[in-house]
Amino acid sequence: MIRKWFIQHIDSFIAAFIGGVLIILFTNHNGLGISPDSIYYTSASDAWVGGKGFMQFDQTPLVMFPIAYPFLLGILHFIFPHGIIPFMPFVNAILFSGVIFLCGSLLTKIAVSKWLKYLLLLLIIGSPTLIEIFSMLWSETLFILEIIVFIFTAHYYFKNLHFKSLMLMALVASIASVTRFAGVTLIMTGGILLLLDTRLDGLKKIKHILLFGFLSLSLLIINLSRNLFLTNTFTGIRQKGQTPFAKNLNLVGEVISDWLPCTHQIMSYSQMIGAVFVAFLTIIFMYQNFKRRKPFSYDRIAATFSFVFTTFMLVSATISRYEPINSRLLSPLFIPILLTLSFCGISLLQFIKTTVLKKLIQWSLVLLSLVACYEFGVYDIANYAEVHEGGIGGYSEDDWAFSPLLKELQNNPTYFNKGVPVYSNASHAVYFYTNQYLSILPEKVHLNKVQDFHKIPEIILIWFQNEENVDLLSLEDIKVSKNLTVLKEFKDGIIFKCAKK
């Protein structure tokens, strides 16, 4: 039985292996890419392992991000007690391999042709977006895997409508919601699919919806309640959105242009591309749920999630300020969109009866897929040449790894033991290389925090010349209230002692 199953999925295993090897290759120089978000995750996991709860490196509770990913990193700490960072490329390679294998298994289950399966797996393996995500220490690596697992569990539930399978679907959605707050879209997807399933009678439908809602929201409610108790906020202090809906639609269009073949030349029409993309998802969502009514099909689940996630990102980015919509934020969409487009292409071919026209469309779709594979490959080769020289973008790049200022902090930790607060305009990098707790310079818009900072009698300020963050206080802003004395100067920065004027 096992041998037969292995032979049936041998192509998915091969694809998964290739994907895993690619991640190892891309992260061969200095390991995974490390961003400020990565430091929040790792510092919270370090604190949890040390018995301090999920606290950030600035000794404040982790509330801007949910706790599932730091929890996973903490579990890995117990497996690799001497440090998890060197092993994370292999963890990410396993996660990426898992995503690829599950996608291959899904395509086998829906009995698509071999050539289509291989093309789709090639697009997933070579996707610059997915390679970027799995080359970084980001929670999306876990979230994307959870989305694929959700599609499987949702299909299993809607196929048999059993309570046990409903609980399994709810559990996956619940874990996803505390991996990324955007994981609430899986809860919304499951709820919509339950509401629109006409096979359930009134009482049974109410029971299933209530059970799914209670179980899927449970972990998120616990996480948010903990945040509220510790900080009086649900997800930290969030600024109001400064990017209008039309601009966010434009940003969505730019990402989709990067994903689709032969669209780079029309990047100037990205707002139109974004509008067409949203309209397309809306039409497919309506067709799948109100016209076709095949409740347990994979394409219905993928299309519904794609519609819900895109709508959620557009609305949330408009009302709340965070980094502009980009390939990373939309990366959870890549595989569901790829599946949705493929299913639409298959459905289109089934409607066409003319053999010549069917062949023409079929080969056109194959050609477009091959062009996309080629474009992905060209980008991946160029990107590999860059990261092979200097490392993945972020704090693991050579510029940071060989920083004279960071080397001084590693060799002389007494700067952190002078009994005064330590601040830096690159506090994430300082923690990553020294494992010393320090504070983050306040952002200019948080006036209360800025005033509190100016009142501090004395601080140590670690200032990096190559770190530009216009949101943080500048040196000129700090000089307004403090006298700066140079303790030591380096080619990439200065260590100051700052006393209140």
Residues 346 and 421 in one domain: no
Do 383 and 412 share a domain, yes or no? Answer: no
Residue 165 · residue 153 · CB < 8 Å? yes
Q: How far is the C-alpha of 96 from the C-alpha of 80, rounded, in Å?
A: 20
CB 64 within 8 A of CB 236: yes
Instruction: Evaluate whether residue 229 is within a structural domain.
Output: yes
Identify whether residues 297 and 376 lie together within a single domain.
yes
Last residue of a domain, one of 390, 412, 442: 390
Asked if residue 329 and residue 208 are part of one domain, the reply reads: yes
* Main-chain dihedrals φ then ψ at residue 4, nearest 5 degrees: -65, -40
Task: In whole angstroms, give the CA distance from residue 147 to residue 149.
Answer: 5
* Boundaries of domain holding 466: 403-500
In this structure, the answer to whether residues 292 and 235 fall within a common structural domain is yes
Give a yes or no: residue 193 inside a domain.
yes
- Please indicate, yes or no, if residue 438 is contained in any of the structural domains: yes
Q: In this predicted model, what pLDDT tens digit does every residue of 199-223 receive, in sequence order?
A: 888 888 999 999 999 999 999 999 9
371 and 416 assigned to the same domain: no
Question: Residue 197 in contact with residue 155, Cβ under 8 Å?
Answer: no
Query: Do residues 350 and 459 both lie within one domain?
Result: no
Cα 120 from Cα 107, distance rounded (Å): 9
Residue 358 lies in a domain: yes
Number of residues written out for the chain: 501
**31's torsion region: left (phi>0), alpha (psi -120 to 50) or beta?**
left
- Domain presence at residue 396: no
Please tell me whether residues 162 and 293 are part of one structural domain: yes
For residues 89 and 44, state if they share a domain: yes
- Residue ending a domain, among 361, 390, 419, is 390
What's the pLDDT score for residue 501?
Answer: 87
The tally of CA atoms less than 13 A away on the side-chain side of residue 91 is 21
In a domain, 395, yes or no: no
Nearest to 432 by CA among 75, 51, 67, 57: 57
Sole residue written with tokens 């305009």: 425
Residues 287 and 432 placed together within one structural domain of the fold: no
The structural domain count of the chain equals: 2
Q: Residue 157 domain-assigned?
A: yes
Shared domain for 491 and 450, answered yes or no, is: yes
Residue 398 is classified by DSSP as H
> Comparing C-alpha atoms, which of 315, 316, 321, 318 is closest to residue 446?
321
Residue at a domain's end among 356, 390, 424: 390
Half-sphere exposure of 44 (CA within 13 A, CB side): 21
Whether 215 and 166 share a structural domain: yes
For residue 398, tell me if it sits in a domain: no
- pLDDT value at position 361? 79
pLDDT at position 482, please? 94
Question: Residues in the chain with pLDDT < 70?
Answer: 111, 264-265, 267, 292-295
pTM: 0.95
3-state secondary structure labels for all residues of 23-70: HHHHCCCCCCECCHHHHHHHHHHHHHHCCCCCECCCCCECCCCCCHHH
Handedness of CA 136, 138, 144, 145 (dihedral sign): positive
DSSP run (H or E) holding 179 = none
Q: 297 burial class (0-12, 13-18, 19+ CB within 10 angstroms)?
A: middle
Residue 62: per-residue pLDDT: 96
The residue whose two tokens read 């018995």 is 51
Mean pLDDT of the chain: 92
